[in-house]
Amino acid sequence: MPTTSERPYHHGNLRTALLDAAERGLREHGVDQLALRDLAREIGVSHAAPRRHFADRQALLDALAETGFARLDAALRAALDSADDFPDRVRAAAVVYTRFATENAALLELMYTSKHRPGATRITEAAETTLGLLVEVIAQGQAEGALQAGDPEQVGIVLFATLQGIASIVNGNIVPPELLDGLVSTAVQQFLRGARP
Amino acid sequence: MPTTSERPYHHGNLRTALLDAAERGLREHGVDQLALRDLAREIGVSHAAPRRHFADRQALLDALAETGFARLDAALRAALDSADDFPDRVRAAAVVYTRFATENAALLELMYTSKHRPGATRITEAAETTLGLLVEVIAQGQAEGALQAGDPEQVGIVLFATLQGIASIVNGNIVPPELLDGLVSTAVQQFLRGARP
DNA sequence: ATCGAATGTTGTCATGAGCAACATAGTAGC
DNA sequence: GCTACTATGTTGCTCATGACAACATTCGAT
């Protein structure tokens, strides 16, 4: 623990401060504008200080992506836990996912592009975990007889893809944000119709 | 026409050469690695030459995105033209779109992120045109009675989103590319089931 | 043939990433 | 307490790039 309170001259938790500032910057100005040096300036440390916590810029971005998945996961789990009915679970997951994805557009993009590069296994794993949540929902739905039997992976991925796609085109301004709720609702409805026995 | 043969010293069509080189670079090394100076070097012009054709780096990226939409559009139209049956049209569009999207992953990302910034109206329009193709297919399907009535926009967007989402997660390595065809096929099947009268 | 518009070139600046050498602050062992 | 040792920050470089300005060359219309 820090000695007194304010700035122990070793800042205390630069890493966290960097991540916080980075997320704000990401949200407000986009990835491209995110400069390690800016963060350092904003926080009040020297331009090389971040390097002690993140090997390079990409490492910071990867860390952001990782926490992004963690938050998304938590939100999804919470939503799923408070819905018992199967269609309700699908709806809840859809709403929470698309909401997160549109409210954290830049972060989401990071989450889905940080992984291209080899070595970002933790991120890929995080993404798979999230996807796994949906697949589980599907599997339960099949077990309950609400869905036709079949590979829950396939079906879950398609559902996931639809949500991701909706978020993607809304974030891309191809479609106005006002349509979001309606689209999600249409998608869920069609999904339930298309996948029932 | 050039004076002799090789390099008219005014290169002839730097713009095209830049776009070509840029697309290769994009495909091979990603957007982040795409440097105007590299392109200039590769082509053999001075580092400031590109500026005559693209006001800044982003302008080049925007142009790339625009040609991307044009190519995608052409591919989609061709596919749609050679399919008469309604389900076939949906299948064809789905296959062509996802194929293009996965074979031009970096370009696609560009196409969907260049538009965030204000002023990229031409790109947004291009995206809307592409989306319009799908909406048309849906409208026709409804007219043929193959789909339940409803707002073709809503339905078309959802279909589009699903395809875009599938491409997105494949490109993001969240699911292996081998699954692509199966996913597309599942998605189309479910769509047709979910949206029929 | 001449003049103006396109198109390229050289040179410069500001900025940011990455690295290394050094400084300081906590911490563990004695 | 004192002395390493380690973690964390700082200063000061190098390098690459984007953006810009001033200048050069070529092309095309009159």
pLDDT digits (tens, 9 = 90+) for A146-157: 999 999 999 999
* A168–chain B Cβ distance below 8 A for any pair: yes
At B196 the pLDDT is 85
Q: How confident is the model at residue A12 (pLDDT cuts 50, 70, 90)?
A: confident
Residue–nucleotide distance: A8 CA to C24 C1' (Å): 12
CATH placement of domain A58-195 = 1.10.357.10
Q: Of all protein residues, which has its CA closest to the C1' atom of C10?
A: B46
Architecture in CATH for domain B56-195: Orthogonal Bundle (1.10)
Of A60-64, A94-98, B170-174, least confident by mean pLDDT is: B170-174
How many inter-chain contacts (A to B, CB under 8 Å) are there?
137
CB pair distance less than 8 Å for B161 and A173: no
Q: Which two tokens stand for residue B59?
A: 């302008």
Q: Which two tokens stand for residue A143?
A: 């077990």
At A166 the pLDDT is 98
At A25 the pLDDT is 97
At A115 the pLDDT is 63
Average pLDDT value over all residues in chain A:
91
Asked if the domains B1-54 and B56-195 are classified in one and the same CATH topology, the answer is no
Q: Which residues of B6-25 are buried (b: 16+ CB within 10 A; e: fewer)?
A: eeeeebeebeebbbebbbeb
In chain A, what are the domain boundaries? 1-54, 58-195
Q: Which two tokens stand for residue B142?
A: 């409804």
* CA distances, B163 to each of A29, B28, B191 (Å): 29, 24, 11
- Residues in chain B within 8 Å Cβ distance of A98: none
At A119 the pLDDT is 72
Domain range A1-54, CATH class: mainly alpha
Which positions of strand C lie within 7 Å of protein CB atoms? 6-12, 15-21, 24-26
Judged against a pLDDT cut of 90, whether residue B131 lies above it is answered with yes
Judged against a pLDDT cut of 70, whether residue A3 lies above it is answered with no
Q: How confident is the model at residue B119 (pLDDT cuts 50, 70, 90)?
A: confident
At B12 the pLDDT is 75
User: Which site among B29, B184, B186, B196 would you substitute to test the A interface, given the most A Cβ atoms closer than 10 Å to its Cβ?
Assistant: B186
